[in-house]
Amino acid sequence: MRTFQSGKPLIIENSSNNSGALSDLQRPNVNGNPALSSDRPTQDKLAKWFETSVFSQPSAFTFGNAPRVLPNVRSAGMKNFDLSLFKNFSITERAQIQFRAEFFNAFNTPQFNLPGQTFGAAGFGTVSSQLNNPRQIQFGLKILF
């Protein structure tokens, strides 16, 4: 079985609300394009998923101009392959043994977590964890009669 999904849209929030609105959260200002090239090395992407320097704190008692979700920046997508191999061996006319080999995340492809989305926080724009498990393999024997 294979699973392919595009990444989730990112919602950038401000760590503090200085607008005077009755909410804990506020959006920052966006002063440019936060998208970075996708052909960078993986370590560079994890350290800086999007351009963080284009965000700024809104003036006091104003709202930020950031959209609800960033239109051109998404989190990492999912590329997952699960494989199963089965082989039946006849013991008698009515009984068989089935050998099973199952591979979950067969090609050991990491799926990265969302980058930090809180403007002003230490981890803003960085990816610090992985969502999926590494490759798992299990073998089994099944008696069919």
pLDDT digits (tens, 9 = 90+) for 59-113: 888 888 888 898 889 998 888 999 999 999 999 989 999 999 999 999 999 999 9
User: Is 70 exceeded by the pLDDT of residue 22?
Assistant: no
Which residue has tokens 């609300």? Answer: 17
Domain count, the chain: 1
Structural domain boundaries enclosing 98: 2-144
pTM summary value: 0.75
Query: Which carries the bigger pLDDT value, residue 35 or residue 22?
Result: 35
Question: Which residues, at least 6 apart from 53, have a Cβ–Cβ distance to it below 8 Å?
Answer: 32
Short-list 32, 46, 57, CA closest to 119? 57
